[in-house]
Amino acid sequence: MISFTAENKAVTIFPGSEPDRPVIYLNTFGDEGEQVFQELQAHGCPDFNLAVIGNLEWNHDMVPWDILSISEKDAAFTGGADEYLNFLIGRIIPEAEREIKGKPVWRGLAGYSLAGLFAVYAVCRTELFPRAASMSGSLWFPGIKDYILSHGEEVKAEHIYFSLGDRENRTRNRTMKCVRENTEEIETFLKSRGKDTVFQLNPGGHFNNTVERSAAGIRWLLGRP
């Protein structure tokens, strides 16, 4: 395990054993990155590099544009995804890949909740990640469905994983009620564009089995040909 700080972002690398293995970038809310890595190791997976980024400005770095708070408990969302994506590409990735063996055969981008939203948005903005995983992604986010559906030609990722808990749309929050509908529609649209996609429905709500769900998405990316 190798750790470094890029400005205020905490980056932890779990390097692969062999050179020229894939690298997956996992944006995290807390310190769950090591748990996800251990879950992957426990269930067996191909050799790869995992780069975990934490200490994010969650309601800023992970969201594409400004929206008001969706509940009394939440802060407003201030769109910083493009700024963070540029920082990820220009600063974090070069430093991270100096710490792994050889050169990555491909890069993946993964995340849970708002980081799942970011993963889907990011593959519309860059060709750097041919594989992406959005676990319980916040695809209720106002405007994101229309954005993806109108930018289909810009999605260069070939393998995209989506998952959701089967109770996530059963919420009193009117903004978030559309999460399953939006996720299924986005996945179906990308599949119709020739992408290799899957939608996995898991038992439970948004906060159930987050580590296991995150590992499942990454395992799917690693298992694609």
pLDDT at residue 223 above 90?
yes
CB–CB of 221/108 below 8 Å?
A: yes
CA distances from 130 to 26, 65, 98 (A): 14, 24, 20
Beta-bridged to residue 197, according to DSSP, are 160
Q: How far apart are alpha carbons 212 and 91 in whole angstroms? A: 29
pLDDT at residue 29 above 90?
yes
pLDDT at residue 72 above 90?
no
CB–CB of 30/113 below 8 Å?
A: no
pLDDT 10s digits, 95-139: 999 999 999 999 999 999 999 999 999 999 999 999 999 999 999
Q: The sheet that has 107-112: what strands, in order across it?
A: 2-6, 9-14, 49-54, 23-27, 107-112, 131-135, 159-165, 196-202
Q: Which residue has the tokens 């293995």?
A: 21
pLDDT mean over 30-55: 96
Say what the pLDDT of residue 46 is: 95
CA distances from 117 to 21, 43, 144, 164 (A): 26, 26, 8, 12
- pTM for the full model? 0.97
Q: Average pLDDT over the chain, rounded to whole?
A: 97
pLDDT at residue 22 above 90?
yes
Q: What does the radius of gyration of the chain's CA atoms come to, in whole angstroms? A: 16
CB–CB of 122/85 below 8 Å?
A: yes
The torsion region of residue 102 among left (phi > 0), alpha (psi -120 to 50) and beta comes to: left
- Going by pLDDT thresholds of 50, 70 and 90, the confidence category of residue 75 is confident
For the chain, percent of residues with pLDDT exceeding 90: 96
CA distances from 217 to 73, 108, 112, 200 (A): 29, 11, 10, 9
Residues 6+ apart with CB under 8 A from 192: none
- Going by pLDDT thresholds of 50, 70 and 90, the confidence category of residue 167 is very high
Domains of the chain: 2-223 (3.40.50.1820)
- Going by pLDDT thresholds of 50, 70 and 90, the confidence category of residue 71 is confident
For the chain, percent of residues with pLDDT exceeding 70: 100
pLDDT mean over 187-203: 98
